[in-house]
Structures are given as structure tokens and as C-alpha cells.
Structure 1
Amino acid sequence: MSFAARWIRPLMAVSAAGFAAGAFAIRATMDGPIEQYAGAALSAAIVYTIVIFIRPLMSPLLAGSAAIVYCWFIEFAQLTPVPAAISERSSFARLLLGAQFDTIDVAWYPVGVVPLVAVHWFLRARIRSQADVAPVKPW
């Protein structure tokens, strides 16, 4: 198992925790549209890290698409009364499901995912190119 493959899941767990900490820090210190936009983008970034945690070998484009589609699914589910009813009973459920639909969030989810897809794609290409060039071992 390569170094990258061995560390991908711990790296995704740490990344998700970092994105969550960033979202909570922004929420605690700011108010208004920046809080809302950053929250949507960072929650989508967390979903991306979860997708990669579950399927470490998934292509960046497929993982990014899955993360965005999932976020949109949750957002559009808020057009029904189900997420709001569940969120009334649990603050944890409110963090996961939200309570009301917001068109702005739909636009901000890709903002949180696209940079991660780009970085993931770059790192994956770099690792593959280094693997293709095997070092010459001295006698």
C-alpha cells in the first residue's frame, strides 16, 4: 500500500474536522451573508471529505459530483416539511438537514467542492507521474 493510500482516510477525517471547526468559528464570530455562504460552502467541503473517506480511490470529478448532488438533495428536501420537523427535535439534525430551503445555498455548495476537486486532481496526477518515473537504484 502506498504512502498516499495509507494516509487518505486519516487526512480526510482531519480535513472534515478542520472544515467543521472553520464553519463553527465563522458562525461564532460573524453574522449575515458571509456566515451563510461560508456555512454552505464548508458543509459541502465536509461532504466531499466524507465521500473520499468512504471511497478513497474514487475519481475527484465523481466524488465532487456525488458531494454536490447530495448537498442539493438535502437542500431540495427542505422544500418538504420533513427536515424542519426532524430539526425541531434535534440540534444535531438541524446541522445535518437544515430547516428551510435557500436558493443561495444551492449556488454555494459547488464553491465548497470545486477547489477540493481541483486540488485532489492535481495531487492525484502528481502522485501518478511520480509512480511512473521509478527511481534508478544504485548497485
Structure 2
Amino acid sequence: MYVPASRDRAGPRRARTRLAAAAAVVVTVGAGLGLRAVAAGSLAKYGGDALYTVLIFALIVLALPRVTALRAAAGALAVSWTVEFLQLSGVPAELSRHSTVARLVLGSTFNPPDLFWYAVGAAVGWLAHTAVSLCSARSSLSA
């Protein structure tokens, strides 16, 4: 059975995308832990907010390797903002009292500036994905 060349390369391309996304997850978690270890105050807080959204971005790309950078950024931003607005209900604060994981994932207190830093994280994810995609496209053209 004949398989068009464009379909033939889709599998390896998705595998490379997933590998890059998995590496981005590891690097992002490491960056977040490193930031918390060496920084304090606003730098740690807002840098962590941006990295939270970058992590969600990378997880979206890992799960859906064919997603566009713009859709992954929009999805990561939507998840981040939803979690932040959920904090207005008090549910995350209650869960955070009983679970370290809930505290890390859901936070506890609504903070309006976080919304901006989540947008920064979504933009960073979009820029990184776009840059990697452009470099990958250029290298496959020259091969």
C-alpha cells in the first residue's frame, strides 16, 4: 500500500514533538524548583506563575503533539486563569490545607497580578514552540 511522503513523516515528527515536550516538562519543573531554591519574594512568586503556565503548555503539547503553538498557549492560559479564578471560591484553599500537591497545583489565594504572569508564561511557551518548529523546519529542508 502506498503511503504519501507527507503522511510517512508524520509519525516521526509527532514522536520528536513529544520528546521535545517531555524535555520541556522536565526543564520547566527543574527551573521552577531552582527558582524557589535561589529566589524569594516577587521574583520567585511571579516567575513561578509564568513557569506554571509554561508547564501546562508543555503538557498540552506532550498530550496533543499536532496542536498549534497558538492553541497550546490559549489552552495553557485558559487552564491557568481558571485555576486562579477558582481560588475565589475558597475550594483550593481548603484542599491546600490537606495536601501539598493541591497547594502546588491549585494555590490558595486569588491574586490579580498572577493573571498577567500567566499570560507571560503562555507567550514564552508560544515563542519557544514557534522557534523550535522553525528550526526543525529549516533543518529538514536542508537535509
TM-score by length of 2: 0.84
5+ residue gaps, structure 1, are none
Name the SS of the counterpart of 2:88 in structure 1. Answer: coil
2:18 corresponds in structure 1 to 9
The correspondence for 2:59, drawn from 36, 50, 74, is: 50
Alpha-carbon distance, 1:134 to partner: 8.5
Residues 130 and 103 (structure 1), Cα distance of their counterparts in 2 relative to 1, 3 Å cut: same
* Aligned-CA RMSD value: 2.0
2:113 corresponds in structure 1 to 104
- CA–CA distance in structure 1, aligned partners of residues 127 and 37 of structure 2: 29
Q: Identity of counterpart residues, as a percentage?
A: 26
5+ residue gaps, structure 2, are 1-8
Alpha-carbon distance, 1:123 to partner: 3.4
Residue pairs, 1:57-136, within 5 angstroms: 57-125=66-134, 127-128=136-137
Alpha-carbon distance, 1:17 to partner: 1.6
TM-score by length of 1: 0.86
- CA–CA distance in structure 2, aligned partners of residues 105 and 86 of structure 1: 20
The correspondence for 1:19, drawn from 13, 28, 31, is: 28
- CA–CA distance in structure 2, aligned partners of residues 25 and 122 of structure 1: 24
- CA–CA distance in structure 1, aligned partners of residues 142 and 55 of structure 2: 35
**Could you list the runs of 4 or more consecutive aligned residues of structure 1 that deviate by over 3 angstroms after TM superposition?**
1-4, 125-131
Alpha-carbon distance, 1:118 to partner: 2.1
- CA–CA distance in structure 2, aligned partners of residues 119 and 94 of structure 1: 28
